[in-house]
Amino acid sequence: MSLPPEKASELKQIIHNHLIKMNIHGKIRDVLAETVREDLDPGRSSLSEEDILRALQRRGIVDDVMKDLHFSKEVPDTELGLQNIPKPATHFIDTDPTKLKKTNVDPARRYLYLQVLGGKAFLEHLQEPEPLPGQVCSTFTLYLHFRNQRFRSKPVPCACEPDLQEGFLLEIHREGLGDGSKMADATTMLSICDPVHLVLIKRDTSSETTLVSSYFLDWRTVLSSPSGKTSIAVELHGVGSECKVAAGVLNMSLELYPPPSEILSPDIITTQRSLERQKTAEKERLFLVYAKQWWREFLEIRQENQSKLVKIFAQDENGVNRPVCSYVRVLRAGRLLESPRQAARFVSLLGLEKAPVVGGGGGGKQEQWCSLLAFLCRNKGDCEDHATLLCSLLLGFGLDAYVCVGTKPKGLAHTWVMTRGTDSTITFWESLTAHRYLHQAVDPDAPPLAPQPRPSYPYRTVGCVFNHKAFLANCQPSDAVELCAFDFHNQSQWKVMSEEAVGSVCSPGSTTSLPPLPPLCGPSLEPSAASNQLELEMRYLVVEHRKDLGLATVWDDHLSYVLSSALAAYELERCTGTSCGNEEFQDAVRRAVPDGHTFKGFPIHFLHRNARRAFATCLRSPFCDEIVCCRGDRVRLAVRVRVFAYPESACAVWVMFACKYRSVL
């Protein structure tokens, strides 16, 4: 029997790992020492290979190896009788969480097996009762990111000792040119300073998410373990104003597969960490010295600069002060997003939530810019999180994008995104709504009767702009957006921070304190199934509501189907800014509504899939209430739901209620 080269190498690796697991080298050494003592004749100076093999066979070592070495055979699906199993219908999804997926493990690569063995001391949930079977309760979900790999655990009920039992296989690969297929040795792994980023999210019974903790785990302690395996207890801390308060403890085990042949001493690992911290601290110190000097120079330019909103540093969820430029990176979405406008639509679908303030005193909001992984896992954040994500995506699409820091009317602090075209066109992007505005500066020196452009954007002042490479402060006489010129090469209008200084602490890999950039994950729901489920729930709620009013409900399925084209056109308009398909929809409605009948329709948009919340919101509108509670002759009702799936569990939900009835005078 001949094997292809890759199978042969895989077989060798399996046998090699099995021998290491049996400690075969130690057994051979013991047998060799015993044989030398007992069997070696005084006249012979060495043992032959046959002598050693005979000794191993005599002591049963060879039999033990062959007895424990098993090879599994993959059985085709047809042999298991699976060929006749029908495929599921398009509106059902297999949601069995216990089904295990096979993972292709490359025997030529190194892996870190991170196992979560449960939690304890989550004291906030000390009084939480044990959930009954089938009862809806709050849950914990753990998210991981390591070197471009993302994972999440199954949700478990919130408790003082949550039953988080999960294993994650993380690949440790080299980054050098041509080294991607080589196995990382102990020295290479020691130089990999990328942490495992852990984010713990709580989801309550109404599907609202809360960021519980964000933790960066240095996994390299396992390199000093003789067996390539170690157990640790990770103390998680809260976020924002509670970043110094313990949130709970996760018990974990770390295991390298295959175990490294070289074991590093703990002193070497401690020294490496210390050197990395010193290098990072020195870079941050030098940048701080430079930033202070740059700020003094900026204040000396003109008196008005003291009141401008110029933000060089911002606190993340762990209370760490970081340069704002480090929150922006070039982010490419692969095939998940097709255009800059679709990227803006995706960002606008992530919820808006300001960081909570304990006590709420002072009237101001809590300052908290989130790392990208924490923002994506929570699926909501403040305007700064939206703006930095949108800027990162626009940079990935090749645009010259910047985050603007300024104010809206009434002096409210706000951030948005700006792009500069090659023809010097300035476009503002509102990350919370995906709206785009063209900026045309007002000429303050123009004659009083000269026509001036009227700004359509909701921004009043701009203090500074930044991206991953540049930081610029507005030093023009006025920081009013309508009067600003965005010629960044004009040093009398914008004070530029040194690109080299910004890059020393903000470029990827410049410091070990920078959170690694996670990739975007694809949609987690199947749009057709989600649309059908939500539509069925909406129909049930309408029937029950009308029953309470003493009204019967008759559905018009054809009219419901006709509404689909309108919902698709609404979403397309939100993505592209252009409207299309309205003529076909109007024509179809005219054909579906007989002469002498009246048609009424009410579309509405949501960012969630909670039917009861959505229906309650709809009934607050007098137009929708008039349709749902319609009375008359030959009343026919229709409802259509369309769920549009986007990356990171984001979704746009469109619901349209309609009715037709015969007009009676």
The CATH number that applies at residue 224 is: 2.60.40.150
- What predicted TM-score, i.e. pTM, was given to this entire model? 0.81
Alpha-carbon distance 445 to 539, whole Å? Answer: 61
Looking up tokens 């007992």 gives 38
- 3-class DSSP assignment, residue 610: coil
- 3-class DSSP assignment, residue 158: coil
Instruction: Return the number of other C-beta atoms located less than 10 Å from residue 132's C-beta.
Output: 8
87 domain residue, yes or no? no
Q: Return mean pLDDT, the chain.
A: 85
Higher-confidence position of 75 and 538: 538
Pair 114, 233 in one domain? yes
Q: Which residues contact 152 (CB under 8 A, 6 or more apart)?
A: 141, 142, 143, 144, 377
610 domain residue, yes or no? yes
Convert the pLDDT of each residue in 317-338 to its tens digit: 999 999 999 999 999 999 999 9
- 600: phi then psi, degrees, rounded to nearest 5: -135, 140
Q: How confident is the model at residue 73 (pLDDT cuts 50, 70, 90)?
A: very low
Convert the pLDDT of each residue in 225-282 to its tens digit: 988 899 999 999 999 888 889 999 999 999 998 888 889 999 999 999 999 999 999 9
Domain count, the chain: 4
Q: How confident is the model at residue 587 (pLDDT cuts 50, 70, 90)?
A: very high
**610: domain range?**
527-662
Please answer whether residues 566 and 589 qualify as being in contact, where contact means their C-beta atoms are separated by less than 8 angstroms.
no
CATH label of the domain that carries residue 653: 3.40.33.10
DSSP 80: G
Alpha-carbon distance 584 to 494, whole Å? Answer: 51
Pair 534, 608 in one domain? yes
Please answer whether residues 517 and 331 qualify as being in contact, where contact means their C-beta atoms are separated by less than 8 angstroms.
yes
Average pLDDT over residues 381-392: 96
Please answer whether residues 551 and 629 qualify as being in contact, where contact means their C-beta atoms are separated by less than 8 angstroms.
yes
515 domain residue, yes or no? no
Q: How confident is the model at residue 93 (pLDDT cuts 50, 70, 90)?
A: very low
Alpha-carbon distance 599 to 202, whole Å? Answer: 44
77 domain residue, yes or no? no
Report the 3 state secondary structure along 514-564.
CCCCCCCCCCCCCHHHHHHHHHHHHHHHHHHHHHHCCCCCCECHHHHHHHH
Please answer whether residues 459 and 481 qualify as being in contact, where contact means their C-beta atoms are separated by less than 8 angstroms.
yes
Average pLDDT over residues 531-554: 94
Is the confidence at residue 217, as pLDDT, over 60? Answer: yes
pLDDT score for 358: 61
Q: Which residues contact 535 (CB under 8 A, 6 or more apart)?
A: 639, 640, 641
605 domain residue, yes or no? yes
Looking up tokens 């340069």 gives 323
pLDDT score for 462: 95
Pair 251, 332 in one domain? no
437 domain residue, yes or no? yes
Alpha-carbon distance 590 to 540, whole Å? Answer: 27
The CA angle 575-576-581, to the nearest 5 degrees, is 100
35 domain residue, yes or no? yes
Please answer whether residues 186 and 263 qualify as being in contact, where contact means their C-beta atoms are separated by less than 8 angstroms.
yes
542 domain residue, yes or no? yes
Pair 139, 116 in one domain? yes
Helices 5-21 & 61-68, crossing angle to 10 degrees? 120
